[in-house]
Amino acid sequence: MIAAPDACELTIEEKVERLAELRRGLDVAELVFSRQAAEVARSSEFEKQGYRSPLDWIKKETKMKTGAAADAICVGEQLDVVDRSADAMFQGEIGFAHLVEIARTVEKLRESPTSRGFDEAVLLKRARAEESLTAFRNFCLKYCHAMDPEGYVEEELSGLDARSASSRSPGPAMGWSS
């Protein structure tokens, strides 16, 4: 186990303070990683390396789960329009997980032809204020609905269609039983 020599002598409160400091450092490293992951994702080098997508290449080489690698790429791709949120993360006002939620929200709204846009200040203010990441994630969903009602409904219906289709089909490795 890697630990500071005096780690055993710390109080629980001091250990929590250390955890918060460590997390801030990890968040900064995640942001640097995200910027570079987006640069890799913009290239076509993955094809030369024999991968189906930049995401596949990044997750394989970094030993990450798909969701975490996709989140990193998304944050890196949205950095140009969520720069105040990235600055807030550097200042320790929000965490990298908040930045992921902001970037995912912005990505959805930027890509939707029916979106009325987004206001980073609204998202950042709420990220700073929320007590939990779950509450902030719920706010982001409501914000997407408010800023793009048509796109939100379309996304919900396509998700419903996909779930419905998967429950009707036995899949390639399964068969119907009676």
User: Which segment of 1-5, 126-130, 151-155 scores lowest on mean pLDDT?
Assistant: 1-5
Say whether both 72 and 129 belong to one domain: no
The pTM assigned to this predicted structure is 0.84
CA dist list (Å): 125 to 43, 47, 122, 130: 34, 40, 5, 9
Say whether both 31 and 59 belong to one domain: yes
Domain with 141 in it: 96-162
* 54-88 as b/e: b if 16+ CB within 10 A: bbebbbeeeebeeeebbbbbbbbbbbeebeebbeb
Say whether both 67 and 18 belong to one domain: yes
> What total of structural domains would you count in the chain?
2
| Residue 57 placed within a domain | yes
| Residue 33 placed within a domain | yes
Q: Is the pLDDT of residue 178 over 60?
A: no
| Residue 54 placed within a domain | yes
Which of the four pLDDT bands, split at 50, 70 and 90, describes residue 165?
low
| Residue 31 placed within a domain | yes
| Residue 157 placed within a domain | yes
| Residue 117 placed within a domain | yes
> What is the gyration radius of the CA atoms in the chain, in angstroms?
20
Taking only the tens place, the pLDDT of each residue in 26-44 is 999 999 999 999 999 999 9
| Residue 58 placed within a domain | yes
Taking only the tens place, the pLDDT of each residue in 17-28 is 999 999 999 999
